[in-house]
Amino acid sequence: MLRGFYTAASGMLTQQRMTEMLTNNMANANTPGFKSDQASVRAFPELLLQRINNHGVPNTSLHLSGGKNIGGLNTGSYIQEAIPNFIQGDLQDTGRKTDIALLEQNVPSNQETGQKAALFFNVQDANGQNRYTRNGNFTIDGQGFLTTNEGFYVLNENNERMLIPSGDFSLQEDGTIVENNQIIGRINIVMANDPNSLVKEGNGLFRGEDGQGLPSVLGNEEVSYSLKQGFIERSNVDSAQTMTQMLSAFRAFEANQKVLQAYDKSMEKTVNEIGRL
């Protein structure tokens, strides 16, 4: 009976974590460049129960001679690690010059996993640490640098901060920035061959595993993309699907909760009534 407590409780914890992940996706449905998390629920390996005969326990540990199979017992469930879904989001026209959307056109797939690579803007914090984002909702700070709303500097092809003194510029599709009919730099775009290896930090930012940097795709003939000025990439969260998954997770939580209550009532009867005999 105690095993049943643990199984039902693990199911409740699993569905609670699934609901938290889906709630976070729904809360960021309007966040530019947000990549929704996805995960699956798996069960722990089942145990085979056998009834031992009255002649004692045999010496073998792999097979109970003379034992009768009772059946399998599931020991619980767990939620796998939440992994971002890097599918391209829709583009939204904002009309702001500092809004830049990254549109993937031809990106190679990883030969080992078969997963498609992902492109990112290369940004840098005040301490010089590189981060990667798809949120192109940029702005120009007081010193004339192109930055994210969190204050991360957008880098150019030389891994230097992109400086736009006047703030009045035009952007070509390859990322080249033109100000007063002069080219002042090109926005650097990097590629993650295995995007699942990136570590999600929040606010649409990712970092490389063990602090490793991502290679630039500038000059890479196998990769093609375009940058759209005055557009942002919307979140790739499917609101309708997310709501359906949240309802399913909530109902599964309730089902496990009722199982746990049934075990609790059985245990109460065992202690209060059978214990009197």
Tell me the domain boundaries of the chain: 2-29+41-79+238-276, 87-233
- On average, the pLDDT of the chain sits at 86
Structure confidence at residue 78 as a pLDDT band (50, 70, 90): confident
What share of the chain in percent tops pLDDT 90? 53
Give mean pLDDT, residues 52-64.
53
Give the pLDDT of residue 63.
53
Give the pLDDT of residue 183.
92
Structure confidence at residue 65 as a pLDDT band (50, 70, 90): low
Give the pLDDT of residue 276.
63
Q: Which of 34-38, 141-145, 208-212 has the lowest mean pLDDT?
A: 208-212
Residue 199 buriedness (CB in 10 A; 0-12 / 13-18 / 19+):
exposed
Give the pLDDT of residue 266.
81
Give the pLDDT of residue 126.
86
Q: What are the Cα distances from residue 63, in Å, to 45, 55, 67, 70?
A: 18, 15, 8, 14
Please state the separation of Cα 183 from the chain's center in Å. Answer: 37
What share of the chain in percent tops pLDDT 70? 87
Terminal Cα distance for the chain, rounded: 20
